[in-house]
Chains A and B, each alone.
Chain A
């Protein structure tokens, strides 16, 4: 059974970079044909898709993040990583990783990790 566990710093200073990892169990990254997304949710707010990475490395990002985001896969650690640069208070959110299943254009997210809260503050 696929399980995801996000981890991160909890607190990041404005203008710095935010780095998160998603540890995957129940699948072998790079080999099992899954794809992975990061999705965030500000306190009291809705869901915002951040980006998507396929097992073979192709990435797609939310245009609203304007080049500040990068995702990668570390097959040796079975982890998916997210880096968001030049953070502001608006980046404060719970960050989720999720498995993306199904054909392109009709894919869905299941399961989701438990999420990790990141606050941006000085």
Chain B
């Protein structure tokens, strides 16, 4: 079965750029979505189809996908960006999630 790997944690200083990766075999041939989940809340879509952003998501968040790695980039990181982030892709007719990355702004 297809697997997506994410680093368990990423730490960034306020105002700096955070990069969260999602790795899978030939992931660049698939479409990747990203979700943000804050404690006690439901996941929220932040990126779909590799690099598209829902209208309510700020431009500071961007996505890319090439080769074996998809990347979520958060520029000018703020404390409000602290959350767990999950990548998601399809494997034929089934869905795969990455294990999640805890972003700490410190």
Binding site for B on A (CB under 8 A): 37, 39, 46-49, 52, 60, 62-63, 96, 102, 104-115
Please report the C-alpha to C-alpha distance between residue A102 and residue B88 in the assembled complex, in whole angstroms: 14
Closest A residue to B47 by beta carbon equals A108
Contact A110 to B45, CB < 8 A, known contacts A46-B100, A49-B97: yes
Contacts of A48 in B (CB 8 A): 97
Q: Is B71 an interface residue (CB 8 A)?
A: no
> CB < 8 Å: which of B30, B45, B95, B99 contacts A37?
B95
Given contacts A48-B97, A105-B30, 13 further A-B contacts (CB under 8 A): A46-B98, A47-B86, A60-B93, A62-B95, A104-B90, A106-B30, A108-B45, A109-B33, A109-B45, A109-B88, A110-B54, A111-B45, A112-B44
Judging by beta carbons under 8 Å apart, are A63 and B94 in contact? yes
Please report the C-alpha to C-alpha distance between residue A39 and residue B100 in the assembled complex, in whole angstroms: 14
Closest B residue to A110 by beta carbon equals B45
Judging by beta carbons under 8 Å apart, are A106 and B35 in contact? no
Size class of the B contact interface (CB-based, 8 Å): 20 to 34
Residue in A46, A47, A114 with the greatest tally of chain B CB atoms within 10 Å: A47
Judging by beta carbons under 8 Å apart, are B43 and A108 in contact? no
Please report the C-alpha to C-alpha distance between residue A47 and residue B35 in the assembled complex, in whole angstroms: 10
Contacts of B93 in A (CB 8 A): 52, 60, 104
Closest A residue to B43 by beta carbon equals A112
Closest B residue to A37 by beta carbon equals B95
Contacts of A46 in B (CB 8 A): 86, 97-100
28 CB contacts below 8 A, A to B, read: A46-B86, A46-B98, A46-B100, A47-B43, A47-B100, A49-B95, A49-B97, A62-B95, A63-B1, A63-B94, A96-B42, A96-B43, A104-B90, A105-B31, A106-B30, A106-B31, A107-B90, A108-B33, A108-B45, A108-B88, A109-B33, A109-B35, A109-B45, A109-B88, A110-B44, A110-B54, A112-B42, A115-B42
